[in-house]
A and B are shown apart, each in its own frame.
Chain A
Amino acid sequence: MVKIVIALLLTVSLNANFKKDCVACHKSKGVSLRKAFMDALLVYGGKKNFKTALFYYCKNPVIFNSVMDEDLVKKYTPLKPITIDDDELKKLLDEYWEKFKVIGNLK
């Protein structure tokens, strides 16, 4: 799932917009950003580790770096590494974390 997210992120422009590019694209492909987030969280845990892992995956989107379901990953393979600016990518990942994070949202 994360690979798919990243694959979709590859298509965003230099001035990437999370809602317009990430969410819209995921929606069109039928891959839930929420599901991808929870799957990644299950493996990467903390905020910093989560973002670092996803950043690394975006730069190296190969199958053995993925934590997603194998069939789903294969469907979108081969993936190209993201080409956008590192700072832009970090901002997108920050937004992604803030939107779906668990901390502060439990009752």
Chain B
Amino acid sequence: MLNSEKKTLRRFFAIYTILVITLIIAVSMIYYKSSSERMKLEYKTLMQDFAILQTKRLKWLHNHFPRYKKYPRDDRYNSAIYDLEYNEIFSTMKSRDINFNKNLYFTKNYVIYFTILSDYYLGAKYLFIEIPKNSALIDMIYKKIAIFSAMALFVFLIIGYFLAKLFIKPMRESIKLLDNFIKDTTHEINTPISIINTNIEMLDSSKFTKRENRILNRVKIASRTLETIYKDLKFTTLENGNVVKNVKFNLKDLLLERVEYFSLLIESKKIKIVLNLDDFYIEADSNLISRLVDNLISNAIKYNKINGEINITIKDKKLVIKDSGIGIKKENLDKIFKRYSRFNSSEGGFGIGLNIVKQIIDIYNLKVDIKSEENVGTEVTIIW
């Protein structure tokens, strides 16, 4: 899966998950509210009955006071009476949380119902009924919400998975189309490139005039550029089919060979090459390292100025290729390794060169450091 696909999928899933979670929270809240309202109604109905019973008992006591002084008690509930000046007349309640503004309210362990008496038996205007809170009811609501949320999340994530597949299908098809096109094109240009290169090499330049030799050089440059592009495309299209053959070789020799290979192109832009190469033996597939080096040198030439400079250094297990070219914008630095990423339309290309570099770096667990300043140049360091 391409990075752009991953990024799109990540964004889609982030938005989708936030929406799903918001929806689940909203539904859970509605369910919790309706359940707790239903629970409150059940409590209220029960406690209203207790209040009616307690009022009757208060009435009886009022009529028989002070012959009977025992405040009426019941195992099922506690109660308290207050006069109209909010003074406590008597209470058997465990909770001290008295609220004259709420008809039904909950404390930590109790549910309290409050009613106003029409007749002030024993001087009481306010009657409170208290029963222990049934936490199992609330626990059951929470349990139901948790189960529902988990199930809904699971179902929505499955739906999200299929939606995401639908979502990236057009993007995948476009990439596949491009890949197939490149693959077909690569296959088709192989033979003509080989023929051009073989025939150019067969020409005897000593028999040409100076002007004809200049023309021949241009053809050579063009054919080598084509060959580089061909190799890059071949590497990319055979991404999963490249067989790595590691051998020990001197990176310095490879660099010298590749610089020689690009010499005509370098000369054409009048670029000064400064080489500072130590011997450095590495064990790797020389074709892969060649692709890596070719792409870096090719970029250093392609994006350089006429009469520019390229410094190539091998020192302390580091390969540094520094150019005096147009540089890369800061905001584009973190995107340069993405396939088909191009930030300069003045030069040709598919935008796959640095992606190839990145793939080879990853194969050998190398480190890469890129420093660039617009209109000053770019310095690429590969660290072994």
Contact = CB atoms under 8 A, between A and B. Distances in A.
B70 A45 contact: no
Consensus secondary structure, chain B interface = loop
B62 A45 contact: no
A45 to B, nearest CB: 4
B149 to A, nearest CB: 51
A63 interface: no
B85 A49 contact: yes
Residue among B66, B87, B120, B124 with most chain A CB within 10 A: B120
B121 A42 contact: yes
B178 to A, nearest CB: 89
A48 B83 CA distance: 10
A102 B65 contact: yes
A44 interface: yes
A101 B87 CA distance: 13
Size band of the interface chain A makes with B: 10 to 19
Contact of A105 (B69, B83, B124, B125): B69
A42 B89 contact: no
A46 B89 CA distance: 10
Given A48-B85, A106-B90, A41 B122 contact: yes
Contact of B84 (A38, A42, A49): A49
A74 interface: no
A7 to B, nearest CB: 24
Interface string A20-62: 0000000000000010001001111111111000000000000
B331 interface: no
A50 B123 CA distance: 9
A74 B329 CA distance: 107
Contacts of B124: 45
Contacts of A46: 83-85, 87, 123, 125
Contacts of A34: 66
Contacts of B123: 41, 45-46, 50, 101-103
Nearest to B83: A46
Contacts of B204: none
Given A103-B87, A106-B71, A107-B70, A45 B125 contact: yes
Contact of A106 (B69, B83, B119, B125): B69
Nearest to B66: A105
B89 A102 contact: yes
Interface string B74-115: 000000000111010110000000000000000000000000
A47 B87 contact: yes
A50 B121 CA distance: 13
Contacts of B84: 45-46, 49
A88 B233 CA distance: 116
29 contacts: A38-B63, A38-B65, A41-B123, A42-B119, A42-B120, A43-B120, A44-B120, A45-B83, A45-B84, A45-B85, A45-B120, A46-B85, A46-B123, A46-B125, A47-B85, A47-B87, A48-B85, A49-B84, A49-B85, A102-B123, A103-B83, A103-B123, A105-B65, A105-B66, A106-B69, A106-B70, A106-B71, A107-B69, A107-B71
**CB-CB nearest 4 A-B residue pairs:** A46-B85, A46-B83, A45-B120, A45-B84
Given A38-B63, A102-B122, 4 more contacts: A41-B122, A45-B123, A47-B87, A107-B69
